Amino acid sequence: MGFPAIAEIAMKPEVEIYDTTLRDGSQGEGINFSVMDKLRIAEKLDAFGVHYIEGGWPGSNPKDMEFFKQIRRRKFRNAKVAAFSMTRRKGLRVEKDDLMRQMLEAETPVITIVGKTWLLHVLEVLRATPDENLAMIADSIRFFKDHGKTVFYDAEHSFDGYKNEPEYALATWQAAEKAGADGIVLCDTNGGCLPVEISRITALARGRLSAPIGIHTHNDCGFGVANAIAGIEAGATHVQGTINGYGERTGNCNLTSVIPAVALKLGKTCVPKSSLRKLRELSLFVDEIANFKPDPRQPWVGATAFAHKGGMHAHAVERLAASYEHIHPETVGNSRRVLVSDMSGRSNVLAKAKELGLKLTADTPELRTILARIKELESQGLEFEAAEASLALLVQRQLRHRELPFAVESYHVSMRGDHSSSVCEATIRVRVKDKTAHTVADGDGPVNALDGALRQALSRFFPQLRKLQLTDYKVRIIDSATGTAAKTRVLITTSDGTRDWGTVGVSENIITASLQALVDSMEYALMRR
């Protein structure tokens, strides 16, 4: 394990990263973190080098309280843990408010208090007087300052509130500052503001307050990241967001975009320099814990962020990588991919082969046959863009005229069911040199059963195949070039726990197409040994 360089420890970053994946992010649809999930994400965030981790709202549910209890026992190197709550309730002394007491029980070094900026919300939602709201903000912050905490004040609806009643908005922020807040965080809670509004109001706040300014944005107009950057350019030195942009509605400001933008585009220090290369890994890790499929089109870290298609581009990229890329993909732990498609010429295929580590050059005599074979298969409906393993096998089969590691001699799939349940059964016979294996397996569906039977049979000869897992299975109906019968294209993704690869099969019959993709997947695993 490496330690951060001395210079990195000593230097206060120009922009602090405050992660709220575990609190605001967990409000997103389809997200349900367990306590263990939250602990694992927090550890990953600390190792990555964010400065603050907001763990949850102790008063909102027992799960968050349990998280705070467990996190206390862990030593963090970079991050400080924050607990979140709203201001004290109206008409109640701060020390008498259970919410405040529960916050202290969380025993975090940092407390974040959210309060009202927008007069409309004070009057209609809170049903409090403007002065009572100011007192609620000030009392809550002072209470935690008196307990020795670092206190951030999240000013809800900062921008909408300011646009509606600037003097009152300012008064709420000044109340927080006077009470000792360590930072005033301007929030675009509804995500409806334009970058230019964020710039103007943040700059104004910057001029009127002496406490550090933070920015917290949402992505409802698609400006989550742009608005955070606008805030930072206007003087904010603290930015709140979530990994992969998780959050309510369309999500929060995406830290996996903000962090590299701050470091590489604004040239400001934030997380340790060495962490940027772990950005893609962090993004994938959090998706995995949340059980989301990573978005391939995610800026900076997505699988297609540095993918190039089309003969000319691929050719140019091969010669001059920077010509079609805004940064070196490795800077954020991503990599360049060259996609192969019907549009592609020799240069695409050669670039792809190089990326896959295959010995193929413009002078290889088999290149012509390989290109012809790809074209032929593409016209039948195969697509290699997400099936790199099938492409690698195609090239290898043409290059080394060697025997296949195994052959499927026969198979049979059947299904039986009644009104309440159904089960599929597959039998398969495979040959490896002069030996055969014959196996049977059950499955939820025909492909699942076939996968089970094939893997069982092959594992007798190649035990390393046991750890493979089918991680994704996609079916698409395509028109064949002949325009007669519709065909089925099956794309599967297989993982060995550390790497994933895609394979493809096409046939009029979904089972046959699936078997092709499964066979390619196993053969590829054996080829790469």
Choices 17-25, 123-131, 318-326, 510-518; region in contact with Zn ion by CB under 5 A? 17-25
List all residues 6 or more positions away from 34 whose beta carbon is below 8 Å from its beta carbon: 63
Query: Tokens 């993704």 correspond to what residue?
Result: 493
Minimum gap (Å) between residue 342 Cβ and Zn ion: 45
Question: Which helix or strand (DSSP H or E) is residue 491 part of?
Answer: strand 486-495
Query: Is the Cβ of residue 199 or residue 242 nearer to Zn ion in the bound state?
Result: 242
The yes or no reply on residue 19 touching Zn ion (CB under 5 A) is: no
Element (H, E) at 370: helix 367-379
Residue closer to Zn ion by CB (options 248, 500) is 248
The closest residue (CB) to Zn ion is 24
Closest contact distance (angstroms) between CB of 375 and Zn ion is: 51
Question: To the nearest whole angstrom, how small is the minimum distance from the Cβ of residue 213 to Zn ion?
Answer: 16
Cα dihedral angle (168, 252, 138, 161), rounded to 10 degrees?
10
User: Using CB under 5 A as the criterion, what x/- string covers residues 35-64 for binding Zn ion?
Assistant: ------------------------------
Element (H, E) at 85: strand 80-86
Residue number with CB closer to Zn ion (24 or 160)? 24
Name the H helices within 72-194. 98-105, 119-121, 130-146, 158-164, 166-178
Cβ-based nearer residue to Zn ion, 162 or 406: 162
Q: How far apart are the C-alpha atoms of 178 and 209, rounded to whole Å?
A: 10
Residue choice 24, 54, 160, 425 for contact with Zn ion (CB under 5 A) = 24
CA 139 to chain centre: 38
Q: Rank residues 24 and 182 by Cβ distance to Zn ion and give the closer one.
A: 24
Stretch that binds Zn ion, among 9-17, 23-31, 124-132, 361-369 (CB under 5 A): 23-31
For Zn ion, which is the closer residue by CB, 253 or 314? Answer: 253
DSSP string of 42-76, one letter each residue: HHHHHHHT-SEEEEE-TTT-HHHHHHHHHHTTSPP
- Nearer Cβ to Zn ion, position 154 or 520? 154
Return the range that interacts with Zn ion (CB under 5 A); candidates 22-30, 79-87, 203-211, 336-344: 22-30
Least distance from Zn ion to the Cβ atom of residue 245, Å: 12
Contact call for residues 178 and 208 (beta carbons, < 8 A): no
Could you give phi then psi for residue 303, rounded to 5 degrees? Answer: -65, -30
Select from 16-24, 97-105, 192-200, 259-267 the region that touches Zn ion (CB under 5 A): 16-24
- Count of chain residues binding Zn ion (CB under 5 A): 1
Residue 116: which of 133, 102, 131 has the closest Cα? 133
Secondary structure of residue 243 in the 3-state scheme = helix
Smallest distance from Zn ion to CB 114, Å: 9
DSSP state of 473: E
Q: Which residues bind Zn ion (CB under 5 A)?
A: 24
